[in-house]
Structure 1
Amino acid sequence: MSQLNKTRYRWRRGILLRVLPVLMILLFAGIVKGQVYMHDSLAAYLEQATRNNPTVQAKFNEYLAALEKVPQAGGLPDPEFSFGVFVKPMELLGGNQVADFQLMQMFPWFGTLHSARDEASLMAKAKFESFRNAKQELFFDVRKAWLELYLNQARISVTQKNLELLKAIERIALIRFSSSTPGASELGTNQMGSSSDLISLYRIQIEMGDLENRLADWKTQQTVLTATFNSLLNRTSGTPVSLPDTLIPEIPGGSFLAIRDSIWSNNTMLSMLAAEKQAYDERIRMSKRMSYPMFGLGIDYMLINPRAGNTSMMNGKDMIMPMGKITLPIYRGKYSALRKEAEFMSLATVNQISAMQNSLTVDYHNVLKMQNDATRRIRLYSRQSDLAQKTLNLMIVEFSVSGTGLDELLKIEQQLLDYELLKISAIVENNIAIAGLDRLMASAGGAQTE
């Protein structure tokens, strides 16, 4: 072996011995992915949001207020009490009347109060369904905000790992650069190698600067997303949020045909509109009964003093007289208008139900497409990420030994970063789609984590 070949052999052997520890760390990090499993806290956050969110609390208080209308609607009119005092006693056969007292109770037509109570109860039910809908919207918003928070945190974590990878590659480039001191017999060749290694080092540092900038942007975004999530729970903006290390793609809780049927039967907006429709139908029946006469029952008590010289056996005896009263609803226009108003409102609610069903159908297909697309991308990016990781491991070995292939190395490193981020984004999008299905079916659901 010539002296030149021996020198080159020792030079490459020295680089390999210095690079080998870094190389082993990179390969081990690419193959073994340690995970820290943590408890899923999303269910606790949903419960906390239900208790503390002011919008949901407002809807619940509206429901309680609507319940208080039921006894109001079903109550009888207040009794009427009237009295009169004679300044000068009125002479009667049985004495002198000095005062008159009347008590009267009015009664609506038979069934009117029952219809009024039913209408108020159904309106209260509609308010309750509105409260449930607000709670389902809150559940969806909390799950979506939580998933977006996880996505951004995962971007930070993946970017930090790739930044560490670039730092390790930078150490390899530094080792190669520091080992490329030219000897007397190969000064020109080694100077060219040293210049090439320095260029590689600069390019790696440029790539690291870009990643550090993206990392800073995502950390700033994490603060905004945390404040958004905490606002849904009515907490201070800086309250820490517990997030899992990994997220499992959720799957629908049944066949899509069963899900569609569940939407028609359980959706809170449809239930609210159905209750309103029943309430307006009851108002139609009540308006018909209101056009019938009201009647009253009462008593008249006449206070009579005895009159001197009156020999009648009734002299000075008070009089009690039962009384009856009836209204004459001869002005029919207002009752007809009241009935037509209820009929038009009932018809409008039918139209709203039809429009809501159409909207839910579109939402169902959009969410279904979103979930199918996300599932397909999860499979694709998982496969692409594995291939990119294997390619990167091989190229790191090649670069550490020969110093060539930096362009492809940086390119595949960027592809690996993109595939990992796209995979996580697809998982989050899939779970948001499942949350959308749960919202349509009025189901709380929950994210699955490892």
Structure 2
Amino acid sequence: MREEQRSRNIHYSTLNKQERNHSAYLLYSLRLISLLVLVILPFTTYAQSIADYQQEAAENNPELKSKYQQYLSALEESSIMGTLPDPEVSFSYFIKPIETRLGPQQGRISVSQMLPWFGSLRDQRSVSDIRAKASFESFQESRNRIFLQVEQTLLEIYELDESIRLAKENQMILNSLVELSLSRYETDRATQVDVLRAQIEEEDLNIQIELLQDNREVLLQRMNELLNRSESSKIILPDSLGETEINSREELMAQIQQQNPNLNRLRYQEASSKEMRSLAQKQNRPGIKLGVDYIFTGETDMPNVANSGEDALMVMAGFKVPLFGKKNNAKVQQSERNIQDVQFQISSRENSLQTELDASLRDYEDAQRKFTLYNQKQIQRITQAIDIMMESYSSDSSDFEEILRMQRKKLEYQLKRIQSRTVQHKAAAYIDYLTGKKNLNLNN
């Protein structure tokens, strides 16, 4: 009996040593795989950067093309508004000629031109030019917004790709833990509950990976929509997300005041309303009409008449008197209301932009703190704790459920580290959008 017990203890001791070696080998293999992945990634070549995709969207996006055509249409308005009205030409034929001393008048040609009050044409051209600039700012706002959508969508795809990669790495670890728990269960060194727990964690992770992959397909479809591509087109992402830098709040607020397309559009609308007010005031003044009449005269039957049959030339001047000025006064009042309306809009927009900037700065700083926490502290600590528990588990002095919980927590921290990095880049991209960092120069 003693020999049998001694033989059994030697057998268990041998198995225990083999299991420790097996656990150590699994941990070494997983670390080696992770190291190879990190080494290989920086050498992967990607075809397009975020800026490349933004440029492609600027060239192909239908909504942006529509906005640009509206701007080109507004440019043509200057040729319509800032010119004189068409001259009037008329021809009259006298069915019964009018007899005069020089002879019968047979026909008449009249040419006349209406001239608005001094400065009216200049105001009209100014209004059309300002409206064209406002239309350009509207186009620029749409362009910057699409740039933002492209960058944020790419960041979300990048986050999903990294999440899938980490989940699959964790899947390999859970698979190894399932094998380890099975081997220990077969030698009565673990309970069946340990095996079931590991299998449950593994299946839950499989479902999570499938959901991440489905979400990625939806984002790819959204990205191709922004680029006006077919759904089957591939999106090749940048290899990594670098560090981001932003200016101080004071500098960013100054940039918003100078460059934000929405603010500039409202300012142009205010200037346009002021020009419309000046134009409406000039319409209360008379217009001037100048004309020339040329009358055809036949030869007279009377003898010895000097200048017989000589045609007549007559110069004409007239005025358009604004007797009913109520409508023009209403236009002046309407322009005043429009000016006040736009001024309130500018004030409201400045307040909302300040709030949006502060919220983006908060998100940026919070994401930076979280990334530092997860990257430099939490993940290292929990990895160390898992290593210690795995060594203890080989000698049957640690709870297998706690190992699974810590492994799940490690994956959670790794995912949060990626999320904090992408949130930081999204916040920086939104700040660029608010400040109009990627504005086009109208003079180029």
TM-score (norm. length: structure 1): 0.91
Structure 1 equivalent of residue 442 of structure 2:
none
Give secondary structure in 1 for the equivalent of 2:41: coil
Which residue identity lines up with residue 321 of structure 1 in the other structure?
M
1:376 aligns with 2:381: no
Structure 2 equivalent of residue 104 of structure 1:
112
How do 1:173-322 and structure 2 match up within 5 A?
Answer: 173-178=181-186, 180=187, 190=188, 193=189, 196-252=190-246, 254-322=247-315
- Within the candidate set 91, 96, 104, 1:88 is matched to 96
1:6 aligns with 2:14: no
- Is 2:370–2:417's contact at 8 Å kept on the other side of the alignment? yes
- Is 1:59–1:131's contact at 8 Å kept on the other side of the alignment? yes
- Is 1:30–1:389's contact at 8 Å kept on the other side of the alignment? no
Give secondary structure in 2 for the equivalent of 1:313: coil
- Within the candidate set 381, 387, 396, 2:381 is matched to 387
1:36 aligns with 2:41: yes
Give secondary structure in 2 for the equivalent of 1:247: coil
Structure 2 equivalent of residue 398 of structure 1:
392
Distance 2:11 2:430 in 1: 67
User: CA 1:288 to 1:210, structure 2 compared with 1: closer, same or farther past 3 Å?
Assistant: same
1:208-243 deviations in Å (ceiling 9; x for gaps): 000001111111111111111111111122322112
- Within the candidate set 431, 436, 439, 1:442 is matched to 436
Distance 2:303 2:381 in 1: 123
Distance 1:30 1:88 in 2: 108
Sequence identity percentage: 27
Which residue identity lines up with residue 307 of structure 1 in the other structure?
T
1:108-143 deviations in Å (ceiling 9; x for gaps): 111100010001100110000111111111111111
1:335 aligns with 2:328: yes
Give secondary structure in 2 for the equivalent of 1:314: coil
Structure 2 equivalent of residue 63 of structure 1:
71
How far apart are residue 317 of structure 1 and its match?
1.2
Give secondary structure in 2 for the equivalent of 1:307: coil
After alignment, is 37-46 or 353-362 more displaced?
Answer: 37-46
- Is 1:163–1:211's contact at 8 Å kept on the other side of the alignment? yes
After alignment, is 311-320 or 410-419 more displaced?
Answer: 311-320
Calculate the aligned-residue CA RMSD, in Å.
2.0
Distance 1:235 1:19 in 2: 49
Distance 1:93 1:347 in 2: 66
- Is 1:95–1:310's contact at 8 Å kept on the other side of the alignment? no
User: CA 1:259 to 1:116, structure 2 compared with 1: closer, same or farther past 3 Å?
Assistant: same
- Is 1:112–1:286's contact at 8 Å kept on the other side of the alignment? yes
Structure 2 residue ranges without an equivalent (≥5):
440-444
- Is 1:95–1:314's contact at 8 Å kept on the other side of the alignment? no
Give secondary structure in 1 for the equivalent of 2:93: strand
Structure 2 equivalent of residue 183 of structure 1:
none
Give secondary structure in 2 for the equivalent of 1:68: helix
1:121-166 deviations in Å (ceiling 9; x for gaps): 0011000011111111111111111111111222111111100111
Give secondary structure in 2 for the equivalent of 1:82: strand
Give secondary structure in 2 for the equivalent of 1:139: helix
Distance 1:80 1:113 in 2: 19
